[in-house]
Structure 1
Amino acid sequence: MKKFITLFSVLLLAFGLIGCSQNNNPPSSDLQKVSVILDWVPNTNHTGLYVASEKGYYAEQGLDVGIIQPSEGGASQLIAAGQGDFGISYQEELTVARSRDIPVVAIAAVIQHNTSGFASPVDRHIQSPKDFEGKTYGGWGSPAETAMLKALMEKNEADFSKINMLNVGATDFFTSIKTDVDFAWIYWGWTGIEAQLKNIDLNFIKLRDEHEALDFYTPIIITSEKQIKENPELIRKFMAATSKGYQFAIKNPEQAANILLQRVPELDKDLVRASQKYLADEYQSDAARWGEMQLPVWQKYADFMYTNQLIDTNIDPKKAFTNEFLPE
């Protein structure tokens, strides 16, 4: 999931295109080819894309959508460079990109609220950021991790210098907690669900419960400013079909899981089905419609990143996202 993206191992596969067509839709040769670059290997964050492809929603809009796994570089850089039409990213990456004048824009929130947080086996007795003191954190060496941990510990009057920061790189969460690591940053919708399936009890500190700025959008769908200027109708068609795909996944999680497994059979079947059931309630959550984003969420998180020196220049949040292309 992104930070599936960055949270754990970078297992990057070769580019692979997955088209879509049904008998009642135009032949693929008559469809406009469009590409979507994922942020990570396929998982339940992406189910709506695969549903829209398999059910012919893209073809209904005259589109032949290829779903591409990432090679090198973040989605923001690739989309800005014209290497894809749309991408899956997350608010942190896009905020950094815009602070560096990379012209990308968020056009939908895949999940309405941040489902990530710090997880630990219950026997490590970590129930609040105060309990991070004296423990070993296993991460990927990102400045964002340091800033996040510092901010949460300061808020809880804890001493960040008492954490042992360990870069575990590509090591799996479940492997790392058996050896040198006490806690790590995970997405509950994937790794947390996997822990439940493995009967591993975790304490989980949700970021969105600890700091108002940390209920940010992750993941998001992005495109370039150039695309918005030159091909707004393409974006509307793509988002109409994609929204329909996620709405299907919300209403029919079991069927949606089966579609994802059909397209990506190497995924763990039990994990996909359990994760899909969990995300059915999280995709739209309390928003008026799937994908909708709010200015305060972008403003607060940009300010958080700037205050914690994760970006050198603060961004104009009004230019970082738009709800313009979401269907009513």
Structure 2
Amino acid sequence: MKLKRLLRAAAALGFAAFCCASGSAYAKDSLSMMLNYTVTGAVAPFYLGKVRGYYDAEGIDLKLIEGHGSGPTVQAVATHNVDIGYADFSTMVKVAAMGAPVKAIGVLMQENPTSVVGLAEKNIKTPQDIKGKTVAVAPGDASSQIWTMFMNKVGLKDSDFKTITGNPQTTINAVITGHADLLVGFATIPLITVEEVTRKPARAIRFADYDVNVATLSIIARDDMIKDNPDLLRRFMRATAKSVDAAEKDPAAAVDALLKTLPAAGSRDTMIRTLQATIPFYRTPETESQPIFHVSAKNIDDSVASIVQYSKLDASANAPAKYYTGAFVP
């Protein structure tokens, strides 16, 4: 009888151990990602992946956190406040050059949409038309990082126009209210917002049209995360590539997924329009037939070289490999 009780106890312990092992095998890895800014249609692909279970299928419990600009997002990654981030490449390079242990592991927006944006009725069509106007700039914002590059390229000086500063929303409001003729920002959300509020057409002078183009919004990870959790990052990138690919095919479905998660995030129509305006910047002419995240080496090399030049960094100590790895791109 005593032997039977011992056998039953052993069997129970074995079953419990099996259950614990099974639970561990199916436990998902928690991963937090801070976005570049507040939630808009531009980040809907990440929510589509969550709702459709793409991250779950890779064993990832992804937590998305609103950001307050690319600079704070990069700092949050560097200081272990979040695991990874979605932030501007040039901002990341500048922060990393000062010692932050971060690197881009995937470039989603390979073509830069940064522009000066204003109402079409202002008749500002070329860089020289900016002279004598008032320009609203958000210091530290992703777009402001290459504003100086653009000015140098087209021969503009600070004295050629009046500058007012504020956060990104303030710059949009300044154009809407007439306190500024132009704002420095992406030719996506700011342009769409100006048009929708004023009910007037807006125009963008894109910096890329004047050969000022650096890679922009990217997935950012810490060096220790890259070293210690490569499999997790590969799984994340696989799920994200699948999410973005699905959003490209059906932007409305991506926005619906976002609004299912955050019903008060904003207007469905505006978010769809924003995502549709963002998608063309995922690739350059060099990569238009390539899968998502397949950025060209030339794009990375040229982007880093431009940032290093205009940030007055030592080129010999700032090779592209310091700031980007394609090892996790599916």
CA distance in 2, matches of 1:75, 1:168: 18
CA deviation after TM superposition for structure 1 residue 219, in Å: 1.0
Aligned to 1:204: 204
Structure 1 residues 244, 149: CA separation in 2 closer, same or farther (over 3 Å shift)?
closer
Q: Which residue of the partner structure matches residue 120 of structure 1?
A: 118
Pick one of 218, 230, 233 that aligns with 2:231: 233
Output the CA distance in 2 between the equivalents of 1:153 and 1:52. Answer: 39
Deviations 1:150-178 (A, max 9, x none): 54344434444221111134525144442
- Give the distance between the partners of 2:217 and 2:246, measured in 1 at CA: 18
- AA paired with 1:303? A
Code of the aligned partner of 1:69 = E
CA shift for structure 1 position 29: 8.0
- 2:299 corresponds in structure 1 to 297
User: After the TM superposition, which residues 1-328 of structure 1 pair with which residues of structure 2 at under 5 Å, given as runs?
Assistant: 30-70=27-67, 74-142=72-140, 148-169=146-167, 170-171=169-170, 173-198=172-197, 199-211=199-211, 214-266=212-264, 267-284=266-283, 286=288, 288-309=290-311, 311=313, 315-327=318-330
Structure 1 window deviating more from structure 2 (302-311 vs 45-54): it is: 302-311
Cα distance change on mapping 1:141 and 1:237 into 2, 3 Å: closer
Larger Rg: 2
- What CA distance in whole angstroms lies between the structure 1 residues aligned with 2:143 and 2:221? 26
1:173 and 1:310, CA in 2 relative to 1: closer, same or farther beyond 3 A? Answer: farther
CA shift at 1:56, angstroms? 0.6
SS in 1 for 2:179: coil
Change (3 A) 1:129 1:310: farther
> Distance in 1 between the 2:143 and 2:54 partners?
38
Pair 1:117–1:273, CA change in 2 (3 A): same
Deviation per residue, 1:95-119 (Å, 9 max, x gap): 1122112111111122231122111
The DSSP-based 3-state class of the residue aligned with 2:63 is strand
CA contact (8 A) 2:136 2:171 kept: no
Q: Per-residue displacement from partner, 1:112-169 (whole Å, max 9, x unpaired)?
A: 3112211111232221111111111111234987774554344434444221111134
Q: CA deviation at 1:307?
A: 2.9
Q: How many residues matched?
A: 300
Aligned residue for 1:117, secondary structure, equals strand
Is the partner of 1:166 in helix, strand or coil?
strand
Kept after mapping to 2: 8 A contact 1:144/1:310: no
Q: Provide closer, same or farther for how the CA distance between residues 31 and 123 of structure 1 changes in structure 2, counting only shifts above 3 A.
A: same
Q: Distance in 1 between matches of 2:44 and 2:201?
A: 27
| Corresponding residue number in structure 1 for 2:8 | none
Q: Is the 8 A contact 2:105 2:328 kept in 1?
A: yes
Change (3 A) 1:234 1:269: same
Per the normalisation by structure 2, the TM-score is 0.81
Runs of at least 5 residues in structure 2 that lack an aligned partner in the other structure: 1-22
Q: What fraction of aligned residue pairs are identical, expressed as a percent?
A: 22
**Counterpart in the other structure of 1:18:** none
For residues 316 and 133 of structure 1, what CA distance do their matches in structure 2 show? 36
Q: Judging changes above 3 Å, is the alpha-carbon distance between structure 1 residues 257 and 308 closer, same or farther for their aligned structure 2 residues?
A: same
- Give distance in 2, aligned partners of 1:206 and 1:132: 13
In 2, Cα distance between equivalents of 1:114 and 1:106: 16
TM-score (norm 1): 0.82
Question: Counterpart of 2:282 in 1: which secondary structure?
Answer: coil
